[in-house]
């Protein structure tokens, strides 16, 4: 994996000339390195720098020592989040080697701590997650007066998705989004609820009156439960009234889940429906649908638990949005470090304790 640092060298410094006491490159390096080592706040980033000062000055200039927490805050509050995001995207694309048929899941996440007094809403980001690579490929901020439907096409526009399978929850089940995915040379699996007129009803009727083309059953034993997932696929679209309006629509999907919790013996049942541009292959589709939930477990949950993102109170300017990029840089690096067979929290601790390990993560 290439070092992300070189991709941020061309950023435009948001500070006025008379306030540029500290070098922009030093600020960005210390920020990325400290977040890798477990820092979550501007104060912790400053403290990391002061604790590592003698080591840092062996390869950083640091003409005025370590920047204060206020300096880090002011810098990232003013930094253009679009330019910062573009640099992150270029780095992510340089290290991602997406394989044919890889599942790329798109989903939104609210940064709850970013909502302060007098603000209309919290920062809400839509991210793309490559399941096999375990990489955040990109993210896009949802406009304050909009929702994920308008943000997803912007995110799709900047991603390289040829040969991939894009999975999105029901919010993204839109004709324009389906066409955008096909236009990128990818396939889609879109979750279906009641947000598309009679489409859900027509899909349900299809499974009621038309025999399934294929059926696949998958059993999972783990996490204290037994789960049975039955995927039924129909290629006959005759009961779908607007089938020609969905670009490359080929299959209707029904996933029936039955979970039995070993401790309580309580059984839960759930049925979900999807539409897809994939040809009927129930076993493959069953796996792809399940892969979608990794964005919740491997990205959103990790950001909240390991990186404390939900508790972050960064509210000034673009601070929350830009710090989210720092978190995702760190997560991508840690997820793809394979030499230390330990968890994310332990890797962050190891990076803080072991300078050589930290340098290996940063590819210096």
* Digit-coded pLDDT (tens) for 283-334: 999 999 999 988 998 899 999 888 988 777 676 788 988 999 999 999 999 9
Q: What is the pLDDT of residue 117?
A: 58
Residue 94 in contact with residue 2, Cβ under 8 Å?
yes
- Same domain for 133 and 203? yes
User: Do 291 and 331 share a domain, yes or no?
Assistant: no
301, 331, 348 - which closes a domain: 301
Same domain for 162 and 240? yes
Please tell me whether residues 277 and 291 are part of one structural domain: yes
CA atoms within a 13 Å half-sphere pointing along the CA-CB vector of 294: 20
Residue 311: inside a domain: no
Q: How far is CA 303 from CA 148, 333, 345, 357, in A?
A: 19, 14, 11, 22
3-class secondary-structure state, position 257: strand
Question: Of all helices (H) and strands (E), which one includes residue 218?
Answer: strand 214-222
119 burial type by CB count under 10 A (0-12 exposed, 13-18 middle, 19+ buried): exposed
* CA 229/CA 231 separation, integer angstroms: 6
Tracing tokens 């859900």 back to the chain, one arrives at 200
Same domain, residue pair 35 and 90: no
- In this structure, is residue 237 part of a structural domain? yes
Binning pLDDT at 50, 70 and 90, where does residue 106 land? very high
Q: Which two tokens stand for residue 236?
A: 């006959």
**Assigned domain for 314 exists:** no
More confident position, 16 or 262: 16
- With 0-12 / 13-18 / 19 or more C-beta atoms within 10 angstroms meaning exposed / middle / buried, residue 216 is middle
Q: What pLDDT does 82 receive?
A: 92
Q: Are residues 349 and 209 in the same domain?
A: no
Residue 46 has pLDDT above 80, yes or no: yes
Residue 229's pLDDT is 94
- Half-sphere exposure in the Cβ direction for 15 (13 Å, CA): 15
What would the mean pLDDT of 116-128 be, rounded to a whole number? 74
Q: Is residue 215 in some structural domain?
A: yes
Tell which of 301, 330, 352 closes a domain. 301
Higher per-residue confidence, 116 vs 159? 159
CATH of the domain at 99: 3.90.350.10
Do 76 and 108 belong together in one domain?
Answer: no
Task: State pLDDT tens for residues 161-184.
Answer: 999 999 999 999 999 999 999 999
Q: Looking at the structure, do residues 61 and 135 belong to the same domain, yes or no?
A: no
pLDDT of residue 123: 82
Asked if pLDDT for residue 341 goes beyond 90, the answer is no
Span 216-225, pLDDT tens digits: 999 887 767 7
Using CA atoms, how far apart are residues 306 and 85, in angstroms rounded to an integer? 22
313 part of a folded domain:
no
Task: Output 152 or 113, whichever has higher pLDDT.
Answer: 152
The verdict on residue 29 lying in a domain is yes
Helix (H) or strand (E) holding 105: strand 103-111
**Are 30 and 132 found together in one domain?**
no
Q: Establish if 150 belongs to a structural domain.
A: yes
Question: Total structural domains in the chain?
Answer: 2
Q: Is residue 308 situated within a structural domain?
A: no
Distance of alpha carbon 39 from alpha carbon 51, whole angstroms: 12
273: CB partners within 8 A, 6+ apart: 191, 192, 200, 203, 204, 207, 252, 253, 254, 255
User: Is-contact 287 217, C-beta < 8 A?
Assistant: no
Same domain, 10 and 67: yes
**Most confident region among 26-40, 255-269, 293-307, 328-342 by mean pLDDT:** 26-40
Q: Is the pLDDT of residue 144 over 90?
A: no
Indicate if 222 and 294 belong to the same structural domain. Answer: yes
Choose the final residue of a domain: 250, 271, 301.
301
Residues 206 and 75 in one domain: no
Where in the sequence is the domain holding 25, given as residue range(s)?
Answer: 5-80+319-362
Q: Is the pLDDT of residue 59 over 60?
A: yes
pLDDT at 118: 55
**CA angle (269, 270, 276) in 5-degree steps:** 150
Residue 263 pLDDT > 90, yes or no? no
- Could you list the beta-strand ranges (E) of 119-213: 123-130, 135-141, 165-168, 187-192
């Amino acid at each position: 994996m290439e070092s992300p640092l070189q991709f941020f060298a061309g950023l435009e410094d948001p500070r006025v000339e008379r306030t540029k006491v500290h070098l922009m490159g030093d600020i960005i390096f210390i920020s990325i390195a400290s977040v890798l080592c477990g820092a979550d706040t501007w104060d912790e980033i400053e403290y990391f720098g002061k604790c590592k000062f003698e080591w840092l000055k062996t390869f950083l200039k640091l003409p005025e020592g370590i920047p204060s927490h206020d300096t880090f805050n002011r810098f990232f509050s003013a930094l253009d989040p679009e330019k910062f995001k573009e640099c992150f995207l270029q780095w992510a694309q340089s290290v991602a080697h997406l394989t044919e048929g890889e599942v790329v899941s798109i989903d939104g996440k609210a940064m709850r701590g970013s909502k302060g007094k007098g603000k209309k809403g919290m920062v809400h980001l839509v991210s793309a997650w490559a399941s096999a690579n375990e990489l955040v490929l990109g993210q896009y901020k949802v406009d304050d007066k909009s929702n994920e439907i308008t943000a997803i096409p912007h995110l799709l526009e900047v991603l390289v998705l040829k040969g991939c399978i894009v999975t999105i929850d029901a919010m993204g089940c839109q004709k324009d989004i389906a066409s955008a995915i096909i236009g990128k040379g990818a396939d889609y699996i879109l979750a279906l609820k009641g947000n598309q007129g009679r489409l859900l009803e027509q899909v349900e009727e299809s499974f009621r009156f038309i025999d399934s083309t294929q059926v696949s059953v998958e059993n999972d034993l783990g996490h204290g439960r037994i789960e049975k997932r039955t995927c039924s696929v129909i290629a006959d679209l005759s009961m779908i009234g607007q089938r020609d309006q969905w670009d490359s629509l080929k299959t209707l999907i029904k996933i029936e889940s039955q979970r039995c919790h070993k401790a309580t013996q309580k059984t839960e049942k759930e049925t979900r429906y999807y539409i897809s541009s994939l040809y009927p292959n129930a076993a493959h589709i069953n796996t792809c649908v399940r892969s979608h939930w990794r964005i919740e477990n491997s990205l959103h949950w990790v950001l909240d638990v390991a990186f404390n993102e939900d508790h972050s109170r960064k509210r000034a300017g673009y601070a929350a949005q830009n710090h989210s990029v720092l978190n995702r840089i760190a997560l991508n690096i840690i997820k793809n470090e394979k030499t230390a067979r330990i968890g994310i929290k332990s890797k962050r601790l190891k990076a803080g304790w072991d300078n050589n390990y930290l340098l290996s993560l940063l590819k210096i």
